[in-house]
């Protein structure tokens, strides 16, 4: 789709999945720049595990702490349980989770959520830690 309107809407009827979009801007002097972005379209009522973390990487002295917050959406039935787990063995079950690293490595952080009708979904990411 090409447009000069600064607001663009695209309708996806009956399509769920992960997609990639892109935008290219051109100024009045002809200079251009582009960016791509990922987005997910879900069916109504889908359980989607998700979380936000700050920060995602660290180079510096130990200890290093990452704070994560649950952003999962149930699309209907309530979320009954959630569980955090890291590849270095730390666990939690609250809406927010803090994990501390004392040594270098690439560590996985996973959130698993379950709703009241038994649907389960997970979201994961890697945290890169370099301590000295």
Task: Summarize pLDDT for 24-53 with one digit per residue, the tens.
Answer: 888 888 888 888 887 777 666 788 999 999
Question: Cα–Cα distance between 51 and 55 in angstroms, integer?
Answer: 12
- Interacting residues of 106 by C-beta distance below 8 A, sequence separation 6+: 126, 127, 128, 129
Question: Cα–Cα distance between 67 and 54 in angstroms, integer?
Answer: 6
Q: Check whether 1 has a pLDDT greater than 60.
A: no
Record the pTM. 0.66
Question: Cα–Cα distance between 99 and 54 in angstroms, integer?
Answer: 11
Preceding amide of 55 cis, omega within 30: yes
The CATH number of 51-131 is 2.60.40.10
Sorting pLDDT into bands at 50, 70 and 90, what band is 22?
A: confident
Domain ranges (residues) in the chain: 51-131
CB-CB contact of 129 with 65 (8 Å) = no
């Amino acid at each position: 789709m090409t447009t000069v309107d600064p607001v663009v809407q695209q309708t996806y009827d009956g399509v769920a999945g992960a997609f990639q979009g892109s935008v290219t801007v051109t100024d009045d002097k002809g200079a251009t720049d582009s960016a791509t972005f990922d987005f997910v379209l879900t069916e109504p009522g889908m359980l989607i595990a998700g979380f936000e973390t700050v920060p995602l990487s660290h180079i510096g002295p130990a200890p290093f702490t990452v704070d994560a917050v649950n952003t999962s959406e149930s699309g209907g039935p309530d979320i009954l349980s959630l569980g955090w787990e890291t590849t270095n063995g730390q666990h939690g079950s609250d809406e927010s989770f803090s994990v501390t690293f004392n040594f270098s490595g690439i560590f996985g952080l996973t959130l698993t959520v379950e709703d009241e009708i038994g649907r389960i979904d997970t979201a994961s990411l890697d945290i890169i830690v370099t301590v000295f």
